[in-house]
Amino acid sequence: MTGLPAPDLPDLHLAGVLLPEGDDRDLWVHGGRITFEPVPGAETVSRDGFVVPGLVDAHCHVGISRGGGRVPTLAGLREQALSERAAGVLALRDCGSPVDTRALDDDPELPRIIRAGRHLAAPRRYIPGLALEMEPGDLVEAVRTQARRGDGWVKLVGDWIDRGVGDLAPEWPADVLAEAIAAAHAEGARVTAHTFGTDALPGLIGAGIDCIEHGTGLTEELVGEMAARGTAVVPTLVNVENFPGFATAGESKFPAYASTMRRLYAGSGAVVRAAYEAGVPVFAGTDAGGGIDHGRVADEVRALHRAGLPAEAALAAGSWAARTWLGLPGIEEDAEADLVVYETDPRKDLDSLQRPQRMILRGRVVA
- Say what the pLDDT of residue 2 is: 43
Beta-strand pair 232-234/211-214: parallel
Shared domain for 17 and 111, answered yes or no, is no
| Residues 54-103: tens digit of each pLDDT | 999 999 999 999 888 899 999 999 999 999 999 999 999 999 999 999 99
Shared domain for 118 and 245, answered yes or no, is yes
Shared domain for 19 and 117, answered yes or no, is no
pTM for the complete prediction?
Answer: 0.96
Domain holding 48, by residue range, is 12-53+330-365
CATH of the domain at 338: 2.30.40.10
| Residues 10-24: tens digit of each pLDDT | 999 999 999 999 999
Helix/strand number for the chain, H first, E second: 11, 18
Tally of domains in the chain: 2
Shared domain for 153 and 174, answered yes or no, is yes
Residue 221 near residue 201 (C-beta atoms within 8 A) = no
- Say what the pLDDT of residue 114 is: 98
Shared domain for 137 and 164, answered yes or no, is yes
SS3 145: helix
Shared domain for 65 and 163, answered yes or no, is yes
- Say what the pLDDT of residue 117 is: 93
Residue 182 pLDDT exceeds 60: yes
In a domain, 4, yes or no: no
Shared domain for 199 and 120, answered yes or no, is yes
Q: What are the CA-CA distances from residue 134 to residues 121, 131, 142 (Å)?
A: 6, 9, 9
Residue 200 pLDDT exceeds 70: yes
Residue 349 pLDDT exceeds 50: yes
SS3 45: strand
Average pLDDT over residues 293-318: 98
